Amino acid sequence: MTYKANDGRYKEMKYNRVGRSGLLLPAISLGLWHNFGGVDSFENGRAMLRRAFDLGITHFDLANNYGPPPGSAEEMFGKILKTDFAPYRDELVISTKAGYHMWDGPYGEWGSKKYLIASLDQSLKRMGLDYVDVFYSHRPDPNTPLEETMGALDQIVRQGKALYVGISSYDAEQTAEAVKILNDLGTPLLIHQPSYSMFNRWIENGLQDVLQENGVGSIAFCPLEQGLLTNKYISGIPTDSRAAKANTFLSEERVTEDVIRKVKQLNEIAQNRDQNLAQMALAWVLREGRVTSALIGASKVSQIEENVATLHHLEFSNEELSQIERILKG
């Protein structure tokens, strides 16, 4: 059946300006890190992408190594672009990244110009695109001069392979230096993608200030802390959860009694707000307007629907924020 996007897709979504740029991003973006790879159900991934766009999510975030296997999330997304989203390409913001291991040998990871440009060429081919909207340096490279990495990003924009550039997981000092180099080159840094959640607040120690001072946007990944900040773990570790599976980023050891105690207390506040815990956790990340967009993952359509419903209640009272602080510090 031919896909036709929902005519009302822009009525409910909230869009935020990215730093001092002209670009707007949806407050909720969809990442294809998990559940869109070659080992996953194509039809389920397709249903999630369609529903996300119908709800006003215009930004889809990928990376060269997303899958598994690496590259397969981009291939899957490329198929959906061709069959479903081709008429809507100019309504989409598509981002990808390079930085982690992608192929064997000395040129298959990190931040050299050789790797970044080759990787983006491969990503464009997998997705069937002439350009991406945002291309990221996925992580800082301790062994490559920052001038080379940022120079590669500048070259990529000048070649027309990306409209904007970003960085991910750079600390405050590295980010400030990256901003200066890119400004001098004439390709401003658009956005930073850090991890950020109630349980992971490292960006509050200087990085957010650097971004705000320099007019750089931010998109927070893992705002639900790999599922910890949901109702999933309140009664123990489900057999189908990430913490129960081997070779995942959320280990069973992280689901401690102290964490569960805090999760239960946070859940009580969420219930009093007529939200579930995941919705409150997303709203918390977006509070004060310092984060442009919260980057969610999903394994089913209903999760996307629930997360987008967060936008119905983004405000916090001072008392709610104080209660949350006491729980997180307790």
Q: Which two tokens stand for residue 329?
A: 């510090």
278 found inside a domain:
no
Residue with tokens 């009302």: 8
247 found inside a domain:
no
Indicate which CATH number applies to the domain containing 63.
3.20.20.100
Question: Is 161 in contact with 187 (CB distance < 8 Å)?
Answer: no
270 found inside a domain:
no
Question: Is 276 in contact with 231 (CB distance < 8 Å)?
Answer: yes
Q: How many domains does the chain have?
A: 1
Q: Give me the domain span that covers residue 120.
A: 15-225+283-312
186 found inside a domain:
yes
pLDDT of residue 57: 99
- What is the CA 8 to chain-centroid distance, rounded? 24
For 176, how many CA atoms within 13 A lie in the half-sphere containing its CB?
Answer: 8
249 found inside a domain:
no
127 found inside a domain:
yes
pLDDT of residue 235: 73
pLDDT of residue 241: 56
Strand 15-17 to 24-26 pairing: antiparallel
Q: Residue 306: enclosing H or E segment and its boundaries?
A: helix 301-308
pLDDT in tens, the chain (330 residues): 799 999 999 999 999 999 999 999 999 999 999 999 999 999 999 999 999 999 999 999 999 999 999 999 999 999 999 999 999 999 999 999 999 999 999 999 999 999 999 999 999 999 999 999 999 999 999 999 999 999 999 999 999 999 999 999 999 999 999 999 999 999 999 999 999 999 999 999 999 999 999 999 999 999 999 999 999 888 766 655 555 455 455 556 778 889 999 999 999 999 999 999 999 999 999 999 999 999 999 999 999 999 999 999 999 999 999 999 999 998
Three-state SS for 12-23 is CCCEEECCCCCC
Rg (CA), the chain: 19
- Using a cut of 0.75, tell me whether the model's pTM lies above it: yes
Q: Which residues of 203-212 are buried (b: 16+ CB within 10 A; e: fewer)?
A: beeebbebbe
133 found inside a domain:
yes
pLDDT of residue 135: 99
pLDDT of residue 239: 57
Positive/negative CA dihedral, 285, 131, 210, 147: positive
10 found inside a domain:
no
* 68 cis-preceded (ω within 30 degrees of 0): yes
